[in-house]
Structure 1
């Protein structure tokens, strides 16, 4: 991988659009893969970013409905609810030996992706950011609102692709993202899950931002953090419930989870990928998670 890798981004939404714009601004060739209406707007108008951390700027990107040539890396930034359909835009034969880097919520997707692409080239990543696409597609420009004062990415993968992961981390860092390569994929995925699940389930269930959750629902938040930490440990990952609570307290009070935003917009929820996966892992390891189970059921995921 060169110092300026060519990057395909499947799903130029809040996360994918932000990373696409940052990488393009840093001089990388970026190809966004999306449905035709969005691809047309991207080719014509590029991406506009509004960010306290990075400033307000526009970035030109290439765009298509599917990948038609090899690239160095493909970032997968769609929602779980649209993953299967979206993957048809990235034919394995065209992808070649590119890194496949999913930045998806949950913990179960790497195994699924490894049945479609070269297993050792699938390098899961986690991202900590609040970023939303507020306009986009079918005649409207693509506008990304980046609300968090941080954008942090952890990359994990097979030892054989470590130099390529280091190069990708360097590219992301050069674009302004705090990026690092970590050794333990399970630990990375569960560190994100242990933070995300309480955040997503509680903000969505009660329809309030994190500031109200951490005050009005403090006992429930603490119980849910403890449950997810216990499941993470059972899955072989370290857990830091006190650290998670401290991070919630540092979050901007108005921050909302992506699941909450989906609920507000009437979109399908990633409930199975987050809450369902948590319950399945808890069942496998015989960990009691009564608060999580109740919230998933109340959100419509009974039997998830």
Structure 2
């Protein structure tokens, strides 16, 4: 849904040729009727060149990857034809990305995160120089194939993995802003990724396990205490990595409460029988804890419980680590 929303906004510009790689009913609908976006201002369609084979599209200026983390390795296995020498690849996804430790100048520089890229295939398919980091602050849903409903939020935070402000990044920020996004240029995109993760790494798996909306999770003092304990572990990891979080868990809980009876994306995935993003949201935190020497007993408990629940329901196919 996020990818459809982003594509629809960009595709409204007269000088942008919008392309999409799709399959099944989505591909058929895109080819026949284009991409439909419904938001507060109404409903409109955008023409898009959609193909199942990326080779039929050729090199692009910008490739936005907006898939669930379990599908990423398969998606990028065919990304080669889309990449030219100067192509930007901007993953618009939840959780810790495979490139999270790229651009550093310390002992952890370039460390491959096996929790999210176990075979190194993602890093091989998308070389680091192509990557632009992105954090999305928006809520969207698919009403039907190639029909996106935008609920709220227009925010995009984008940045180079090494924190520099490059001409290509500045040009991208300008283009995204012109398209209607509330775009922020970040000089420490990993910190922005970590802060978003700090809230949803607990809410998402707990809601998927229990079927509860976020307000019900926070209403239970034991669950709220468990969430806070995990967040303190993640906060300690962030401090070791040089991406400190200034807030306390209760500050973030207060923000989450403002969403009301909100269904997390992982709960929606679980209800629809789709694979869940446990590796990018939780397993990666455990790996970073081991790397930085921070104990994560509460996060490990969350991962174990979530993994068993997801495997029982066919939502997490990977073998136990």
TM-score class, shorter-chain normalisation, is 0.7 to 0.9
Secondary structure at the residue paired with 2:242? coil
Partner Cα separation in structure 2 for residue 280 and residue 159 of structure 1: 23
Which of 142, 145, 148 does residue 133 from structure 1 map onto? 142
Spell out, residue by residue over 1:124-169, the C-alpha distance to the aligned partner (whole angstroms, 9 max, x if none).
Answer: 2111222222322xxxxx221222x312111111577722222222
Corresponding position: 1:32 with 2:20: yes
Which of 221, 237, 249 does residue 257 from structure 2 map onto? 249
8 Å CA contact retained: 1:212, 1:253? no
Secondary structure at the residue paired with 2:166? helix
Which of 57, 64, 76 does residue 87 from structure 1 map onto? 76
Partner Cα separation in structure 1 for residue 82 and residue 13 of structure 2: 29
Relative to 1, partners in 2 of residues 1:161 and 1:61: Cα closer, same or farther, differing over 3 Å? farther
- What's 1:276 paired with? 283
- Runs of 4+ in structure 1 off by over 6 angstroms are none
Partner Cα separation in structure 1 for residue 246 and residue 207 of structure 2: 21
Partner Cα separation in structure 2 for residue 107 and residue 174 of structure 1: 28
- What's 1:215 paired with? 219
Partner Cα separation in structure 1 for residue 81 and residue 59 of structure 2: 10
CA RMSD of aligned residues (A): 2.4
Structure 2 unmatched ranges of 5 or more? 100-111, 113-119, 309-318
Spell out, residue by residue over 1:74-123, the C-alpha distance to the aligned partner (whole angstroms, 9 max, x if none).
Answer: 11111111111111332157533211111222224226544323422211
- What's 1:41 paired with? 29
8 Å CA contact retained: 1:66, 1:90? no
Aligned pairs for 1:17-166 (under 5 A) are 17-27=4-14, 28-52=16-40, 55-67=42-54, 68-91=57-80, 94-110=83-99, 113-136=122-145, 142-147=146-151, 149-157=152-160, 158=162, 162-166=166-170
TM-score, normalised by the number of residues in structure 1: 0.83
- What's 2:173 paired with? 169
TM-score, normalised by the number of residues in structure 2: 0.79
Structure 1 unmatched ranges of 5 or more? 1-13, 137-141
Relative to 1, partners in 2 of residues 1:161 and 1:63: Cα closer, same or farther, differing over 3 Å? farther
Partner Cα separation in structure 1 for residue 231 and residue 13 of structure 2: 37
8 Å CA contact retained: 1:92, 1:116? no
Q: How many residues align?
A: 283
Which of 181, 184, 188 does residue 192 from structure 2 map onto? 188
8 Å CA contact retained: 1:48, 1:143? yes
Partner Cα separation in structure 1 for residue 27 and residue 282 of structure 2: 32
Spell out, residue by residue over 1:258-297, the C-alpha distance to the aligned partner (whole angstroms, 9 max, x if none).
Answer: 2211111111111112111111111222323333222211
Partner Cα separation in structure 2 for residue 133 and residue 240 of structure 1: 35
8 Å CA contact retained: 2:239, 2:245? yes
